[in-house]
Structure 1
C-alpha cells in the first residue's frame, strides 16, 4: 500500500498516481484518445499504457464504450462498491474511537508513560495495516482507540502544565483546517496532480527527517535539540507541519473521490477512514504543539 499521509504508506485510490490496486494500469472508463472535456483524460503519468485497459474491480460489459467516451463508468454490479456514505460512516467510527479514547485518558488522568506506550502500540498497528494489501478493521479500530489514549493524555498534560485551553484551541484549529481544505479542494483551487503529490512526499520526508534528528539531539544532548520545536524556529516548523497535513488532506480527498468513481470495493472505505484519521491526528498534534509554543512565549 502507498501513502498520502505524512507518516505511513497505504494503497492509493488515485486515477493519476498509478499505485497498485486502484490504478495498476489505465482503467475502464479511463482516458481515451481524442476525448474532450474529461478531467481525467490526460492519462496516468506513472504507468505505461496496456494493450487492454480494464477495471480491476469488475467485468464491465460496457468497458469499450466507456473508453470511447472517456468517462469513468461504474461497474454493473453496484452492491459491493464503495460509496461516500461508507467512507463517512467508517471515518465517523474511527474518529469516534479516537475521541472516546482521548476522553477516557483525560478523565482518568492517564500517566504519560502509559500514554506513550499506547501511542507506540498504535504506531505498530498502523504500520502493520500499512503493509497489508487489504484493510483489516480490527487493526484500524485498535489504532484509533490507542491513539485516542495517547492524544488524551498528552492534551491533558499540555492543557494543565503548559497552556490552559490549548486542547480545545487545537481541536477548533484542526476542524478549521479540515473545512478550509475541503472547500479549496471542492472548488478546485487546490488541484491534486502527480507533481503536487511528488513534491508533497518530498517535503513531508524532509520534515520527518528533521523531526527525527531534532529528537535525537534532544535525547542525547538535552535541552531543545536543534531548536525545531521551540522559539521562533519552532513556530515556523509548526506552521509548516500544519500546512503539510492540510495538503495531505487534499490527497486523501482525491483518493476517496477516485475510489468511488472507479467502483472500488466497499472494504476500501476502511482505508479511506484510516488515512483521514491519521492525517487529522497529525494536524491536531502539530496544532497543539504550535499553540503550546505561542502561549509559552507570552
Structure 2
C-alpha cells in the first residue's frame, strides 16, 4: 500500500500498516514485515543500510550525505518551507491583491512544480522552495482579496487560526494514539480523498461549461457540508503524514528525505487552509 500523499508514494516508511519499511533491525517481539521483499531500501539494495555483521561489530558510520534523517531535520526543513510560503503570502497580500490573474498564474506554476517533485525519485530543495514561494503568492493574493470584502473581513485570519487548531489537535490525537494509522485507516483515507478530488473536478467542469455554480458543492448548505468534509479529510491526511515522518526517522530514511516530509506537510496544510477559508466564506457570506 502506498502513501496517500503523492510526495511519499514511492517511499515505504511504515512498520505495521502494510508499508514496506526502511531496512532496520526489528525490535524484540515485533512482527515481521510481510512487505520486506518489496522494500526498495532492503538489505542488498539499500545503499544506506549497514551490514548486520558490521552493526554487531561497531556502530554504523555515516557520511554527511548518507546519515539518516532525524526529527530535527524534518522540523528545520518544514520551517524553511513554511517560512518561504509565508514570505510569498505576505508579498501576494501586499502587492497582488488587485492582480488575481497573475496570482492564479503563480498558483498554476506552483501546482506544476509540486507535480514534478511528486514524480521525482529524489527531493529537490529548489523545486520544493519554489513551490512554497509561488503557492504563497497565490494564497496571499487570494486571502487579501477576500479580506477586502465587507462581509469577509478577517476571514483569512480565522482560516489561519483554524488550520493551526486542526494541526495541533491532530498532532495530539496522533501522539496519544487516539488516532491509530493502520492499513485499513490508510485505505479509507485514500479512497475518501480520491472521491473528494474527483467530485471537486467534476464540479469545476460543470462550473466552466455551464457558467453557474456547478453542482452546488461550493455554496449553500451542500457547500458547507462539502467544506467540512474537506477539512476533516485534510486532518486525516495529516495523520498519515505524521506516520510517514515517524517511521522514516525510525527506519533510518536518508537525510534528504526530510525535504519530502516538509513538502508533504506543507501541501496538506495548504489544503486545510484553502478548505477552511472556503468554508468560512460560505458561512459568513450567507
Q: Same fold (TM over 0.5)?
A: yes
Q: Identify the structure with the greater helix proportion.
A: 2
Aligned-residue offset at 1:199: 1.0
The match for 1:123 among 100, 107, 111 is 111
Is the Cα–Cα contact under 8 Å of residues 88 and 136 in structure 2 kept in the other structure? yes
1:140 paired to 2:139:
no
Q: In 2, distance between residues paired with 1:140 and 1:4?
A: 19
Aligned residues: 273
Q: In 1, distance between residues paired with 2:104 and 2:54?
A: 51
Provide Cα deviations, 1:221-261, integer angstroms capped at 9, x if missing partner. Answer: 12211000111111110111011110111111101110111
Q: In 1, distance between residues paired with 2:93 and 2:9?
A: 31
For structure 2, which runs of at least 5 residues remain unmatched after alignment?
A: none
Aligned-residue offset at 1:105: 0.7
Provide Cα deviations, 1:264-283, integer angstroms capped at 9, x if missing partner. Answer: 11100000000000000000
Give matches, 1:93-104, under 5 Å. Answer: 93-104=80-91
1:90 paired to 2:77:
yes
The equivalent residue for 2:197 is: 208
Is the Cα–Cα contact under 8 Å of residues 7 and 260 in structure 2 kept in the other structure? no
The equivalent residue for 2:24 is: 28
Is the Cα–Cα contact under 8 Å of residues 167 and 235 in structure 2 kept in the other structure? yes
Structure 2-normalised TM-score? 0.88
The equivalent residue for 1:15 is: 15
Is the Cα–Cα contact under 8 Å of residues 30 and 43 in structure 1 kept in the other structure? no
Provide Cα deviations, 1:164-206, integer angstroms capped at 9, x if missing partner. Answer: 1000000000000000000000001101111111111100000
For structure 1, which runs of at least 5 residues remain unmatched after alignment?
A: 66-74
Provide Cα deviations, 1:54-81, integer angstroms capped at 9, x if missing partner. Answer: 383321435998xxxxxxxxx7235511
The match for 1:290 among 276, 279, 282 is 279
With over 3 angstroms needed to count, the CA separation of the structure-2 counterparts of 1:225 and 1:8, relative to structure 1, is farther
The equivalent residue for 2:262 is: 273
Q: In 1, distance between residues paired with 2:133 and 2:224?
A: 30
Q: In 2, distance between residues paired with 1:42 and 1:166?
A: 49
Aligned-residue offset at 1:49: 7.8
Structure 1-normalised TM-score? 0.85
With over 3 angstroms needed to count, the CA separation of the structure-2 counterparts of 1:87 and 1:64, relative to structure 1, is closer
The match for 1:114 among 80, 102, 108 is 102
